Amino acid sequence: MRVLGIDPGLRNMGWGVIEVSGSRVSHVANGICHGTGSALAERLLALHAGLVAVLAQYQPDAAAVEQTFVNKDGAGTLKLGQARGVAMLSLAQVGLQIGEYAPNAVKKAVVGVGHADKRQIDHMVRLQLPGCQIAGADAADALAIAICHAHHLQSAGTLQQALAKAAG
């Protein structure tokens, strides 16, 4: 089963694809979709096009997106929410159910503590996916989101159902 994780961002949207077989998790691919252009609509369109290409190439069976963290900058939070909306729309267009995880839940699932920093996430992702070349911090976060979703699917007992659906 292939799981896609997405770390939403307006300029850089990280993505990571892992393969899950029982309790084994392996790296498939990762990268960053860039929101290019000066206007917000242009950036959102570029992000959508990038994610559509990732979905077509890697054809995941499951997907997860990090929830938006509300910060002091309300306008920034709203813009990030629009990028997250593009990610969710792209996934919904291909019929994927979407897992959503708070940043602290992802960190706890991958690192073991909810307040890990970027270096700790990168380190633990590399330990869990030996030999993978990570395209950057946003891609490492996306791989962590995919790993978190894989753990959630396993613990919820839905992994076998999803595997049967993917095989059938």
What does pLDDT average to in each consecutive run of 10 residues of the chain (168 residues)?
96 97 93 94 97 98 90 81 96 96 93 88 95 96 97 74 69
Has this prediction a pTM greater than 0.95?
Answer: no
Catalytic residue among 61, 66, 122, 141: 66
138 is an active site residue: yes
Res 108: pLDDT:
93
The active-site residue out of 19, 61, 138, 141 is 138
pLDDT at 83: 94
Tokens of 11: 């300029």
pLDDT for residue 80: 87
Instruction: Provide the pLDDT for residue 121.
Output: 93
Please report the pLDDT score of residue 74 as a whole number: 80
Clarify whether 19 is annotated catalytic. Answer: no
Structure tokens at 44: 């959102």
**Three-class secondary structure assignment of 6-55:** EECCCCEEEEEEEEEECCEEEEEEEEEEECCCCCHHHHHHHHHHHHHHHH
Note the Cα 13 to chain centre separation in Å: 9
pLDDT value of position 75: 82
Q: Name 120's Cβ contacts closer than 8 Å, sequence gap at least 6.
A: 107, 111
Contact (CB, 8 A) for 96 and 63: yes
pLDDT for the residue numbered 25: 94
